[in-house]
Structure 1
Amino acid sequence: MYETLIYKGGVHKSEEIKELVEDLGGFVLQENVIQMDLILTLAVPIKDVKKVEEKAKELLGKIRPAPMVGSEIAVVSPTLARHHLPHSACDIAEYLRRHGAKTNMIGLARGAGKTISRISEDEKALINEHDLAIFAMGSFKECIENKTHLFSDIDVPVVVTGAPKIENLPGADAYVSGFGRIPRRLKRGENIRALRKLVKVVENLLDKKREEISLDPPLVPPIVVKKEIEYQVPEVKEVYSPTPVTLQLDGVRVKLDYDEYHEKIGYVEVDKYILHEISEIIPSKMYNYTLVKLLPESSLW
C-alpha cells in the first residue's frame, strides 16, 4: 500500500528526494517547477514515509499528506454563463487541486432555469467517468431543490454546494453550504471555512470508495499502470496537456486518441499481465481520450 504525499522545496538537490522515493519502490506522480520552487506529488510505501520526511527536512523542504492524489473530480456548473460559473466554481476546483485532486470543469448545455433545466446522457456519461462529482449550485434553496434531477441518477458520489443550509438533499451523497453565486474570489474567512469543510467531505467519500474497491481490488494498482503506460507508449511524452496519464481510483485516463492508440495501450505489459486482459479500455466522452478501467480480481476468474 502507498501513501500519497506532496513535497514542496527548492530545486537545488531535488534529485536526492526523487531518487530516494524510487529506491524505496515509490513513484513521482507529478513534478511542477515554479521559478526556484519545486512541487512533487509522491506515492510512497507506507512503511517508508518516515524516511522521506527525514530527507525532506534535510533538504529544508516540507511534506504533507495528500489523500486526494490519484482521484479525478468533475466540478459541474449548471451552465457556462457568467451567473452560473463565477469565482466559486473555479475556486472550488483550484482548492481541490492544492490537495492533490485532478479536477475538470464541466458546464451543462441546458442546465439553466428552475423548471426547464436538463442534463443530457452524454453529459452524464462524461461525469460518470470521474471518481466523484461536485455540483456547484446557486444561492436559492427552492432553486437547488428543484434541480435535483441534474444529479439524482449520477453513478459516482455526488457533492452539491450552494449558499443556503439544506439538511437532506435527495440524490446527493453530501451537501455543503456557504458557496452559491459569489462574484469575487473566495478569500474571506467564511469562504475558507466552507472550502475546508468541502475538502473533508470529499476526502471522506473518496476514502469510502477506496474501501469498497479494496474489498475486490484490481490485480495491479493504477499507479503501476500509469508508470508502465508512460514507459511503453512514447507518444504520451508528446502530449502537452497537463497529466497526460491521469490517475483515477480504479484506472487511468490516457490523453491519446482512442481510435489511434487503444490497441497499443491495450498491449502494454503490466507485471505479468497484458493490460487489455485485466481492464476495460473504452473511448472517453472527453476529446475521445482513452479510458482504462481496471477490472476487479473477481471478474477474472
Structure 2
Amino acid sequence: MYETLTYTGGVHKHEEIKELIEDLGGFVLQETTSQMDLVLTLAVPVEDVDKVDEKSRELLGKIKRAPMAGTEIAIVSPTLARQHLPHSACDISEYLRRYGAKDNMIGLSRGAGKGISRISEDEKRLIEEHDLVVFALGSFRECLMNKTHLFNDIDIPVVVTGAPEMSLDDLPGATAYVNGLGRIPRRLKRGENIRALRNLAEVVEDILDNRRKEMMDDPPIVPSILVKTEIENQVKAVEEIYSPAPIVSQLDGVRVKLNYDEHKDEIAEVKVDEYRLGDVSEIKKSLMYDYILVKLLPESSII
C-alpha cells in the first residue's frame, strides 16, 4: 500500500531524497523544477512515510499528503471564450494541482449559450480518457439544468460546479455537484471562494477514493506507477520529451506523450515484472495529440 506525497524544497542535494524513495521501494511520479525550487510527487510505502518526512526536514523541505496524485482529471468549460475562461475554471485547475492531480483544460467547441450548447463524440471520448471530469458551468439554475446533455452519458465520474444551490436530482448524469463556483470575472481569492474550492477538493478526493476501493476488488494485473517507471527505464525516446510530465499516471493506466504510430510497438514490448505490457493492457491512440494511452487489464482477465 502506497501513500502519495508532495515534496517541496530546493534543488540542492535533492538527489538524496530521490535515492531514499528508490531504496524504500517507492516511486517519483512527477518532478518539476522552477529555478532553485523543486516539487516532487511521490508514492512511498505507508510504513515509510516517517522516514521521508525526516529526510525532508533534514533538507529543509516540506512534505504533505497528495490524495489526488497518480490521477488525471479533465476540467471542462463550455467554451474557450472569455466569458467562461480563464477565471473560475483555471483557478479550479490550479487548486486541484495542489493536491497532486494532473489536470487538463478542455473547452468545448459549441458551448456558448444554453440553446446551442453541444458536445461532440470526439470530445466525450477525450474526456473519458481521464479518471474524473469537472464541468465548470455558470451562475443560473436554469442554465445548468439545460446543459445536462453535456455530461449525462459520460462513463467516468462527473463533478459539476456552478453558483446556485442545487440537488443531484436537477442534474441527471452528475456524480456530485458543488455550488459557489459560477462565472466569476476575477481570481477566486475571497473567503467564500476558497471554501468552495476546498469543498470541491474534498468531493473529488472522496470520489477517487471510492474508485480505488472498487478497483481493489479486481485490481490491474500490474500497478500503473510500476508501468510508468518501467516505460521510463526501457523506452529511450521518453528522455527526449520536453513536457514536465512525459508520462502521466492514471488509476488504471498511463498516458505516454509519444506519437502512437511511431512508438506503440515499442511500448507494447516493455517488460513489467514477468509480463509483456502489450499482453496485460490495451494500447490505444489518444485523442490528445495522438499520444499513447495504456489502459491496464484487471486480474480477472487472465483467469
SS in 1 for 2:160: strand
Partners of 2:206 and 2:293 lie apart in 1 by 25
Return the offset for 1:241: 2.0
**TM alignment of 1:1-301, pairs within 5 A:** 1-168=1-168, 169-301=171-303
Conservation of the 8 A alpha-carbon contact between 2:282 and 2:294? yes
- Work out whether residues 7 and 40 of structure 1, in 8 Å CA contact, stay in contact via their aligned partners in 2: yes
Cα shift readout 1:96-150 (whole Å, capped 9, x = no counterpart):
1111100000011112221221111100000000000000001111000111010
Please identify, of 133-142 and 84-93, the stretch whose mean Cα deviation from structure 2 is larger. Answer: 84-93
Q: What does the per-residue CA deviation read over 1:144-184, in whole Å, with 9 as the maximum and x for residues that have no partner?
A: 01110100000000000011111222210000011111111
Distance 1:24 1:54 in 2: 14
Which SS does the other structure have where 1:124 is aligned?
helix
Q: Kindly indicate whether the alpha-carbon contact (under 8 Å) linking 2:31 and 2:244 is maintained by their aligned counterparts in 1.
A: no
Aligned-partner Cα distance in 2 for 1:18–1:7: 10
Aligned AA (1:250): D
Q: Is the 8 A contact 1:77 1:106 kept in 2?
A: yes
Moved more, 42-51 or 52-61: 52-61
Amino acid at match of 2:177: Y
Q: Secondary structure at the match of 2:183?
A: coil
Aligned length: 301
SS at the partner of 1:165? coil
C-alpha distance in structure 2 between counterparts of 1:177 and 1:35, whole Å: 37
Q: Which amino acid aligns with 1:243?
A: A
Provide the TM-score with structure 2 as the length reference.
0.97
Are the equivalent residues in 2 in contact too, given 1:86–1:182 (CA < 8 A)? no
Aligned-CA RMSD value: 1.0
Q: Is the 8 A contact 2:109 2:119 kept in 1?
A: yes
Contact 1:86 1:181 in 2 (8 A): no
Question: Separation in 2 of the partners of 1:198 and 1:288?
Answer: 31
Shift of 1:57: 1.9
Q: TM-score if structure 1 supplies the norm length?
A: 0.98
Distance in 1 separating the partners of 2:12 and 2:243: 27
Once residues 234 and 10 of structure 2 are traced to their aligned partners in structure 1, the CA distance between those partners, rounded to angstroms, is 31
- The alignment-based identity, stated in percent, is 71
Q: How much does 1:85 deviate?
A: 1.8
Q: Which amino acid aligns with 1:256?
A: L
What is the CA–CA distance in structure 2 between the aligned matches of 1:86 and 1:255, rounded to whole Å? 25
**What are the superposed Cα offsets for residues 69-96 of structure 1, whole Å, 9 maximum, x if unpaired?**
0000000011111112230001101111
Query: For 1:278 and 1:117, how far apart are their aligned partners in 2?
Result: 39
Larger deviation: 43-52 or 31-40? Answer: 31-40
